[in-house]
Structure 1
Amino acid sequence: MRKTIPVLLGAVLAAGIQTATAQKKPAADTLAKHYQALLKGSDADKAILTNELYALLKTKKEENWITAANNFYQLKKADVADSVQVAAEKRFPGGIVARGKALQVVYDEKDAVKKEELFQVWIRKYPPKKFGSERIIYDYARNAVGTAYTDAGNIPKALEYANSIESPFWKGQGWAGTAERLMKQGHYAEAKVLLKKAVDDAAAFRTTRKDEFGAKFAATGYPGYLSSYVACLFQEKQYDSALVYIKLAEKAEDPVRASVIEMYAKILLNKGDYAAAYEKLSGIAARGLLNPTTKGQLEEAFGKVRGGNFQSYLDSLKGHMNTAIEEEMAKQIINIPAPGFTLKDVDGNTVSLADFKGKTIVLDFWATWCGPCKASFPSMKKAMEKYKDDPNVKFLFVHTWEKEENATANAKKYITQNNYPFQVLMDLKDPKTGENKVVSSYEVKGIPTKFVIDRNGNIRFRFTGFTAGEDAAVGEVAAMINLANK
């Protein structure tokens, strides 16, 4: 039953948020805060909560059963939560849990036509009006059907479903998701229309609609939508319009993502403005954020504007960058005992943190479903290569928060296919509690998260997220290792 839990929790959470925002059930909001307080309390508090949750199961409201299941899960009683979910499906055959399980069948179907047929059957069986004002689960379903049609090349159907999203705060996400897939197929004209709507929608949620429900979520897509819209304009050689919107994208975030500068430089180079391109690219080069594309762009602009030895120029920038990184990292150093652990690696070998006593450890928490985690791996490979001859530095990659049953095999396959020389340890879920114990012991809230543990077994650095530029990313790891050893 674990597979359906995210669907259940997501739908219920969305419904709960909408209800609370509309202030129809303030008592429910107060009760949720009460449960959260008990969850964060003592063992005695948790015992009280457990009794209260069992009391909810004596009621005739499915929402109470779902509340109980969600809280049992947070109490690390995953086996109880699963049992409640199974019982709820039987107790309320046309309810929320049954609806979520039935939707999984729609998600699992690959063929677009069959998926649409299953969706129509599902929505007739579980009509939206039966479930109050909540619509996001229906939008997820519509998006799944639209995505299947997009991938199948049926553009009219793809656009039909992209434009059928009902939740105001999720319209931009639906439009942009379909547009991204259309762009991969070369349908820039159709994608451009959707992205312009997504840009305008997100801009409104940042300004005139900022007090609406879900505004913060809806507004977060603005920089990304702008970047994709500019990419469409660029493909259609509308460079002047692209320049207008890339300037908006540059102003939308601080720091500016490297991909925005890359597109900015593309536009400038195509317009023949080498001086402006050189200035933009030199800025990210100084921060170590060049990738192969932007490095080539900078070399082209450098040749037009300055001339001379390009590599010497890059080396001078890198020297200043490494000094600045170490100065910044020195401000972030901590000193906390590292929790011990023993795990199996993807080959079945038992590995303990204690095995590396006296060494500096770089511990990287990741998962195969985590895009930013995987995006950081080329840089981590370079960092490992930097220390390949140093026996006192060890890199360990801990796969956690798995979402599939064959997580170990999938992790090994991914690492092997990409030729990463990583030792991958598996922090698998405890079947009873539903907890990934090692990631919990390190109090990780999001991945990728990296730790640098010194030779005395103390955490000296904690770093969440990843730096896009390989030079900067390697520089950060090197600075943390150097400072941990001082």
Structure 2
Amino acid sequence: MKIKYLLLHLICLFFVISCQKETSSKEKSDKDIGDINFSKKYPKSGDTLTISSKNPIDHEAYFLYAINKNIYANEFEFLKNNESYEAKVIIPDSAQVLVFNFNNNEKTLHNDHQGFSTYVYDQENMPIANASSGKAYIYKYFGYKFDTEPKTDSLLNWLEKDFEKYPETQSTWDRFYVQLLKEKDKNAAEEYANKRIAHYENITPKVEKNKVKVIELYSILGKKEKAEELENIARKEFPRGEMMKEKYISEITNVEDIHKKVYLYDRLQKEYKASELGDKNSYLLTQIANTYVEEGNWDLFLEYSSKIKDPVALASLYNSVAWDQAENDENLAEVKKISAKSLSLLENEKESLNNKPSYTTTKEYRTKISSSYQMYADTYAFILNKLGENQEAIKYAKIAVGEGFNTDINERFVQFLIDDENFKAAQQSSSKFIEENQANEKIKEYFKVSYQKNNPSTSAVNLESELRKLESKGETKAFEDLKKEKMNTPAPNFTLKSLDIESLSLSDLKGKTVILDFWANWCAPCKASFPGMKEVVEQYQNNDQVVILFINTFENEPIEERITKSKEFLNSKEYPFRVLLDTPIKDSRDFKVAQLYDIKGIPTKVIIDPKGNIAFKKVGYNSNNEQMIKEIQMMVELSQQ
């Protein structure tokens, strides 16, 4: 009996263990990241990966994948399957890591800002070479697409995993690693860089690509003299190499005399094929063509611009020249032709996608082309209106309006309707812009003109009442839209010096609403917004609960020059601004407070609430000071609630 019992016990134990192994195996076969399930925990090259979500992913889905530093985009679609949504993707050959973008109701799913990614694995279920380094690279330079917030320590850790298991990967990633490490520990970065420099200098035979890596490492460390010394040596050793090519390009870019510029360009063409120059060829031809326009030589402008093979670059050149000429009422018949050509180039590119960057999805690229098309259509409409071709001008101006986000374009559209004496359409369009908070003062004037034309017996009081109703709707919409944008992120503390070298810390202002306006002397949109910001400063000058600080950043001149430039500019315009000077990060192009607040472009306005949290962050300037002032007032009000 004991033997039978023991056998029975062993059999049962076997089944329990088998079940446990099966369950364990099943648990390891897939993985969950946030609310998304991936059918394989260790996907390999060529595998089909099923991705599922209980929530709809209805806007777009794509992934970026890395092959070393080459980044590619693949789009895919989710379909409803019973109670969930599923998509199938095939792991591309040679891919090392995949980073996914999922959208629901046009909002990016970010998994608590950690993102969604998977390495590609080998047969032992280990990440293949360059997988974790590729992830670091994508998160660093494309993280904005996924709403991720990678920390420097995480990026370094991912790179170090590759370096430890696959030491040869350092040749691809060591410069990237030094850039990141320098942010954390400059001495450690220099120590590692010196080891890599010694490694490259000991490699034989000597090839230029290794010299270039050494030069790049010295440049990252801020050792410019050493980098320049090695550049000169490399040019002598490799007279048709990368260093010599860059020297030629720099000379062409910096020389002002057009004859010398063309001579140097012709020399470059003899030494290097157009394919070896890449995008820089379009850049140089654009420079030459623009110089001929400035000199009034239209024939040579057309000759050199026609050599630009990139249709997007050529369309951009045609549009900018057409606009500048039309503003000055010059060469209108000629610029009408090149403006029309700019539209045709974009139409063809939108269909062919011949110049789509590998890291951009088809949807992203077509959206970008469409946005440019709208802007260029505004130029074309502007020219047509000047030539008296109002019907065509209205047609293209309507295209340019799009969703109405640019008040200057909206203004021109209504103006063209007024010029055409189409007062009914002018009233309808101006009313809509005012209701949608997409109007400036000129559009409001056009509303009055068209309303009076359509209602000749209306009184001035009634007209103002109608306008006020529309303005009220616009203000309500703007307020509700801002509510949805409100943030609640702790504002990083900082201490900066003013133009008069007085220190101020953000922590000193707790309990107040603080407006930070990030700007630079070279930034035209920043300066264009300043007349409106002057009004904002004056409105709050007697309100001790609101503090407005202008953070001068992204200027690499010595501090004395920044102070002098800023004071001269502010005094010349009588701007009563309280300016603080952002601190440059040594041996870097970054600035401390701009980095703390993740400032990618300027102007950027940050509204900090009395509790010390970031309530709003607004990037850019839409050329409408009235709208900007009202928006700031609303953000201040909402931040104090």
Pick the TM interval, shorter chain: 0.7 to 0.9
How many angstroms does 1:436 deviate by? 0.8
Q: Indicate yes or no: 2:594 matched with 1:458.
A: no
Q: Take 2:131 and 2:579, find their aligned partners in 1: how far apart are those partners? A: 38
Q: Take 1:349 and 1:445, find their aligned partners in 2: how far apart are those partners? A: 27
Q: Take 1:435 and 1:32, find their aligned partners in 2: how far apart are those partners? A: 28
How many angstroms does 1:71 deviate by? 8.0
For the residue of structure 1 that corresponds to 2:610, the secondary structure is: coil
Q: Could you tell me which of 276, 282, 289 is aligned with 2:438?
A: 289
Q: 2:254: which partner in 1? A: 108
Cα deviation digits, residues 450-479 of structure 1 (max 9, x gap)? 111122322122222334433432222112
2:496–2:580 Cα contact (<8 Å) kept? yes
Cα deviation digits, residues 163-187 of structure 1 (max 9, x gap)? 2212233221122222233223322
Q: Provide closer, same or farther for how the CA distance between residues 244 and 324 of structure 1 changes in structure 2, counting only shifts above 3 A.
A: closer
For the residue of structure 1 that corresponds to 2:517, the secondary structure is: strand
Q: 1:168: which partner in 2? A: 311
Name the structure where strand makes up a greater proportion of residues: 2
Cα deviation digits, residues 337-365 of structure 1 (max 9, x gap)? 21122223334433332342332101111
Cα deviation digits, residues 405-460 of structure 1 (max 9, x gap)? 64444344443333332222222433323321110011222322211112232212
How many angstroms does 1:82 deviate by? 7.7
- Is the deviation greater in 346-355 or in 57-66? 57-66
For the residue of structure 2 that corresponds to 1:362, the secondary structure is: strand
2:610–2:640 Cα contact (<8 Å) kept? yes
Q: Take 1:162 and 1:303, find their aligned partners in 2: how far apart are those partners? A: 48
1:289–1:469 Cα contact (<8 Å) kept? no
Aligned length: 459
Answer with 1 or 2: which has the greater Rg.
2
Q: 1:188: which partner in 2? A: 332
Tell which has more relative contact order, 1 or 2 (C-alpha 8 A, sep 6+): 1
Cα deviation digits, residues 29-85 of structure 1 (max 9, x gap)? 996983662775354556753458926844655455656776888xxx451588546
Q: Take 1:147 and 1:180, find their aligned partners in 2: how far apart are those partners? A: 13
Q: Indicate yes or no: 2:284 matched with 1:141.
A: yes
Runs of 5+ consecutive residues of structure 1 not aligned to the other structure: 1-15
Q: 1:7: which partner in 2? A: none
Q: Could you tell me which of 448, 455, 469 is aligned with 2:624?
A: 469
- Is the deviation greater in 83-92 or in 151-160? 83-92
Q: Root-mean-square deviation (CA), in Å?
A: 3.6
How many angstroms does 1:329 deviate by? 1.9
Q: Take 1:31 and 1:195, find their aligned partners in 2: how far apart are those partners? A: 46
Counterparts of residues 413-428 of structure 1 (less than 5 Å): 413-428=568-583
- Is the deviation greater in 319-328 or in 34-43? 34-43
Q: 1:254: which partner in 2? A: 403
Q: Take 2:270 and 2:631, find their aligned partners in 1: how far apart are those partners? A: 52
Q: 2:196: which partner in 1? A: 54
- Is the deviation greater in 290-299 or in 210-219? 210-219
1:288–1:470 Cα contact (<8 Å) kept? no
How many angstroms does 1:209 deviate by? 1.4
1:396–1:424 Cα contact (<8 Å) kept? yes
Q: 2:344: which partner in 1? A: 200
Q: 1:235: which partner in 2? A: 386
Q: 1:99: which partner in 2? A: 245
Runs of 5+ consecutive residues of structure 2 not aligned to the other structure: 1-66, 73-93, 98-128, 141-151, 164-176, 179-191, 358-364
Q: Could you tell me which of 461, 476, 482 is aligned with 1:323?
A: 476
Q: Indicate yes or no: 2:505 matched with 1:356.
A: no
Q: Which amino acid aligns with 1:452?
A: I
TM-score (ref. length: structure 1): 0.82
Q: Take 2:566 and 2:269, find their aligned partners in 1: how far apart are those partners? A: 37
2:436–2:473 Cα contact (<8 Å) kept? no
Name the structure where helix makes up a greater proportion of residues: 1
Q: Take 2:568 and 2:245, find their aligned partners in 1: how far apart are those partners? A: 34
Cα deviation digits, residues 140-195 of structure 1 (max 9, x gap)? 12222222222222222223232221223322112222223322332221111111
